[in-house]
DNA sequence: TTGATTAGTTAAGCGGACTGAAGTATATTC
DNA sequence: GAATATACTTCAGTCCGCTTAACTAATCAA
């Protein structure tokens, strides 16, 4: 089986569909929460527990400290982030999502999940099991690759 | 097999990983192209051949005609969109991606594809075939659902 | 303890993305 | 053919996100 060719094609088509869907999902999330793209990205970084200082965030997002500080300030005022002084180093701030901030991200993850779930449920049981197995494999591969 | 429970869990985890990846991809695309999120969304709409007039775009994006017109204007000046008069109705404009505009979108789709491809290539051949089959099923299901 | 470094904030200013309102040109309707 | 509707553009004004530069406060190193 010329598996390589097929693999590339199938993945390309899936990517195209998923890319489009991602765009819609993000847009929807932005409209609902009245947040900008970069604010959502910022929340997602915190959600996944990256470096949690102001400059750490800025660095990850490719913006200056000043920009990060201002953006964070808005999110704090919206009650989505908690900003406390780091007891170990009183210059630094510790940034954590509030319950509300976490809810916002999980909600959009769930919304996307529901879309895939709807797709999957349209399949036969056998096919469903294959999809589950495949996504599980991909998830594990992605985790391994990121770490 | 309590397939429903597993399905939801597996999909949720996959969504989380993919959501995060999507964010990064979009960010990367924005940084590279120096475009905003909404400009990329606009290009993607055209790429997938939705309604291609100014007000159609605005409606799909949930913004006013004025905003759509201005945004399109910038993209035309950047050489990413071609805006011509509709011969059928001279009030209307026909909007089409230029070669450069298309390239921009396909490039980001490909970038995402390469990520999945890398994930997949880390699997055994048997597993790869399963992933191909599963993504193919999902792609078809998504196409059916959208239409 | 003084000087340099690091973490973060604040201020001024720029451009992008949006809105509502007004304007132009074409189509439709009666 | 006059009134109305439609497709789009332009304008004035607002907010957001970014930048650089100047600042405060805490830490580190000699």
Tens of pLDDT along A6-34?
888 999 999 999 899 999 989 999 999 99
Place of tokens 């630094």: A92
Answer whether residue A1 shows pLDDT above 70. Answer: no
What pLDDT sits at residue B11?
93
Nucleotides of chain C within 7 Å of a protein C-beta? 6-12, 16-22, 25-28
Query: Among B1-5, B104-108, B132-136, which stretch is predicted with the lowest mean pLDDT?
Result: B1-5
Please count the residues of chain A.
147
In chain B, which residues have their Cβ closer than 8 Å to the Cβ of A22?
18-19, 22, 25-26
- Contact (Cβ atoms closer than 8 angstroms) between residue A136 and residue B8: no
B61 CA – C19 C1', rounded, Å: 15
Q: Mark which residues 12-31 of B lie under 8 Å from A by CB.
A: 12-23, 25-27, 30-31
Q: Kindly state the DSSP code that residue B87 receives in the 8-state scheme.
A: S
Whole-structure pTM value: 0.89
Buried b (16+ CB within 10 A) or exposed e, A18-43: bbbbbbbbbbebbeebebebbbbbbb
Q: Which two tokens stand for residue B56?
A: 């159609």
Residue pair A129/B1 in contact (Cβ under 8 Å)? The answer is yes
> Best residue in B36, B37, B138, B143 to probe A by mutation, most A CBs within 10 Å?
B138
Domains, chain B: 3-146 (1.10.10.10)
For residue A34 the two structure tokens come to 């009245």
Q: Helix (H, G, I), strand (E, B), or coil: what is residue B64?
A: coil
Q: Flag whether residue A113 sits within 8 Å of chain B, measured between CB atoms.
A: yes
* Helices B99-121 and B3-33: angle between axes, nearest 10 degrees: 140
Checking if the pLDDT of A51 tops 80, the result is no
Query: Could you tell me if A63 lies within 8 Å of chain B, comparing CB atoms?
Result: no
- From the CA of B9, how many Å to the C1' of C29? 58
Check whether A146 has a pLDDT greater than 80.
Answer: no
Of all residues in chain B, the percent with pLDDT exceeding 70 is 95
B123, B129, B139: residue with CB nearest A14 = B139
Instruction: Using an 8 Å CB-CB cutoff, list chain A residues near B3.
Output: 125, 128-129, 132
Contact A71, A42 (CB under 8 A): yes
pLDDT at B3: 55
State whether residue A50 sits within 8 Å of chain B by CB. no
Name the strand (E) or helix (H) holding A105: helix A99-121
pLDDT band at B5 (very low <50, low <70, confident <90, very high): low
Give the C-alpha separation, B10 to B75, whole Å.
Answer: 40
Kindly report the backbone phi and psi dihedral angles of residue A30, in degrees, each rounded to the nearest multiple of 5, phi listed first.
-65, -45
pLDDT digits (tens, 9 = 90+) for B24-67: 989 999 999 999 999 999 999 999 986 689 999 999 999 999 99
The answer to whether A91 CB sits below 7 Å from nucleic acid chain D is yes
- Report the SS3 class of residue A93: strand
Q: Do B41 and A27 meet the contact criterion of CB atoms below 8 Å apart?
A: yes
Specify the 3-state DSSP secondary structure of B40: helix
Report which DSSP code applies to A121: H
- Distance in angstroms (rounded) separating the CA atoms of residues A104 and A44: 10
What value does the mean pLDDT of chain B take? 91
Find residue A93's DSSP bridge partners: A85
CA B146 remoteness from chain centre: 14
Q: State which H helix or E strand residue A129 sits in.
A: helix A125-146
């Amino acid at each position: 089986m010329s598996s390589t060719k097929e693999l590339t094609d199938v993945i390309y088509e899936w990517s195209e569909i998923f890319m489009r869907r991602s765009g819609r999902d993000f847009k929807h999330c932005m409209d609902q929460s009245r947040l900008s793209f970069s604010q959502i990205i910022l929340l997602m970084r915190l959600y996944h527990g990256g470096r949690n200082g102001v400059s750490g965030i800025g660095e990850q997002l490719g913006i200056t400290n000043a920009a990060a500080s201002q953006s964070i300030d808005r999110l704090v005022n919206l009650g989505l982030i908690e900003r406390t002084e780091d007891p170990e180093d009183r210059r630094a701030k510790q940034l954590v999502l509030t319950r509300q901030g976490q809810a916002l991200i999980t909600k959009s993850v769930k919304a996307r999940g529901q879309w895939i779930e709807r797709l999957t449920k349209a399949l036969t049981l056998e096919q469903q099991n294959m999809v589950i197995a495949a996504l599980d494999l991909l998830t594990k591969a992605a985790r391994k690759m990121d770490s």
